[in-house]
């Protein structure tokens, strides 16, 4: 088990390193004046020169990357023109346009994103797996056909379309809910949940469709396997075959997909956040892209990669604890 954990951790570290190399190269070796882009359009030539020094643009690319990596692990100093600023260990760079450390910026936006992701995940797992089990159980009957149609429509609907429609119908026409306005959990938990209800629901409905299809497909695949035939031949009832044997086969793929989705969502549910005005990482990223705040963009992508890799590793370990065969193979 320890060997497996070590191997898994090492694998995750290598993937993260690969991500950082690729991202750094793609964004900082791109054509165009990186210093000008990073600094923003209103920078004076002197300021641009300062940024160029800061990013060590005269150094070869691998040295620049090494410097960047150092920032992440031991921190680095930034001169903002007027003062020298120290950027602590996980230092992802400095946003010259907003005069802020990227790490700080990300930390302030993280709670909103986490709120959205966590709530939506609970909802989509319940809805999606439940629907999947139901359609596998009622396979070949009208119930399954209807559910299959609904889930197919769900996977075909972009989240911003359903979010927009829900918002207009529920908040605009019916006026059951106020138009969502993010309230931090620490301010007022009740208002927090109330205002996130619609974003959660719209995200969960779309995601649930994916999970329902995956659950159903894995269960049907298991149902066609030989060991299910064995239990049928021994008089084991349908309920036990569905609930015990078929569902068990869906656990691994659902965990894997969920880890990926949950990790990605931590990098920002870009569309939902923009649509519902939730001040999270996703909306920040859209803003940074629009104003071409390069350090923020790079930092955000790296953080997203970190969450995805972390979530996948955690899911693997959790799954390995449940199923020791994984460790052996």
Interior CA angle at 50 toward 90 and 22, to 5°?
45
CB of 104 to another protein, least distance (A): 20
CB of 47 to another protein, least distance (A): 20
Compute CA 183 distance to the chain's CA centroid, rounded to the nearest angstrom.
21
Compute CA 119 distance to the chain's CA centroid, rounded to the nearest angstrom.
13
> How far, in Å, are 34, 90, 276, 289 from residue 299 at the CA level?
15, 10, 24, 12
110 vs 292 by CB, closer to another protein: 292
195 vs 312 by CB, closer to another protein: 312
CB of 83 to another protein, least distance (A): 28
18 vs 61 by CB, closer to another protein: 18
202 vs 304 by CB, closer to another protein: 304
Do residues 135 and 219 make contact, with C-beta atoms less than 8 angstroms apart? Answer: no
CB of 230 to another protein, least distance (A): 5
Residue at token pair 């396997």: 225
100 vs 260 by CB, closer to another protein: 260
The C-alpha atoms of residue 203 and residue 74 are separated, in whole angstroms, by 38
The C-alpha atoms of residue 313 and residue 310 are separated, in whole angstroms, by 5
CB of 154 to another protein, least distance (A): 10
86 vs 248 by CB, closer to another protein: 248
CB of 118 to another protein, least distance (A): 17
Residue 329 CB-density burial (10 A; 0-12 exposed, 13-18 middle, 19+ buried)? exposed
Residue 327 CB-density burial (10 A; 0-12 exposed, 13-18 middle, 19+ buried)? middle
Do residues 128 and 207 make contact, with C-beta atoms less than 8 angstroms apart? Answer: yes
CB of 162 to another protein, least distance (A): 9
CA dihedral 23, 25, 29, 31 (to 10 degrees): -50
Compute CA 218 distance to the chain's CA centroid, rounded to the nearest angstrom.
23
The C-alpha atoms of residue 51 and residue 31 are separated, in whole angstroms, by 17
183 vs 270 by CB, closer to another protein: 270
The C-alpha atoms of residue 124 and residue 203 are separated, in whole angstroms, by 8
17 vs 74 by CB, closer to another protein: 17
CB of 120 to another protein, least distance (A): 15
Q: Where are the alpha helices (DSSP H) in 277-293?
A: 281-290
Residue at token pair 């104003």: 291
């Amino acid at each position: 088990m320890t060997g497996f954990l070590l191997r898994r951790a090492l694998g995750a570290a290598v993937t993260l390193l690969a991500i950082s190399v690729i991202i750094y190269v793609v964004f900082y070796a791109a054509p165009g004046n990186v210093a000008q882009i990073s600094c923003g359009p209103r920078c004076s030539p002197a300021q641009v020169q300062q940024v160029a020094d800061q990013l060590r643009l005269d150094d070869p690319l691998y040295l620049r990357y090494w410097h960047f990596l150092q920032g992440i692990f031991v921190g680095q100093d930034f001169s903002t023109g007027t003062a020298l600023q120290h950027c602590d260990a996980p230092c992802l760079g400095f946003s010259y346009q907003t005069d802020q450390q990227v790490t700080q910026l990300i930390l302030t936006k993280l709670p909103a994103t986490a709120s959205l992701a966590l709530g939506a995940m609970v909802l989509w797992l319940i809805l999606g797996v439940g629907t999947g089990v139901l359609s596998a159980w009622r396979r070949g009957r009208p119930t399954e056909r209807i559910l299959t149609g609904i889930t197919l429509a769900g996977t075909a609907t972009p989240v911003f379309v359903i979010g927009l429609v829900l918002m207009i119908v529920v908040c605009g026409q019916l006026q059951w809910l106020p138009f969502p306005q993010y309230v931090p959990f620490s301010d007022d938990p009740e208002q927090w949940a109330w205002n996130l209800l619609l974003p959660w629901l719209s995200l969960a409905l779309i995601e649930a469709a994916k999970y329902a299809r995956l659950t159903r497909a894995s269960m049907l695949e298991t149902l066609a396997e030989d060991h299910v035939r064995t239990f049928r031949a021994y008089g084991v009832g349908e309920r036990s075959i569905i609930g015990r044997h078929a569902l068990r086969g869906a656990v691994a793929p659902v965990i894997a997909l969920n880890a990926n989705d949950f990790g990605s969502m931590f990098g920002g549910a870009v569309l939902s956040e923009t649509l519902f005005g939730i001040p999270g990482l996703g909306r920040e990223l859209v803003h940074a892209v629009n104003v071409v705040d390069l350090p923020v963009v790079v930092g955000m992508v790296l953080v997203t990669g970190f969450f995805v890799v972390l979530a996948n590793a955690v899911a693997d370990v959790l799954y390995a604890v449940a199923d020791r065969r994984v460790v052996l193979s």
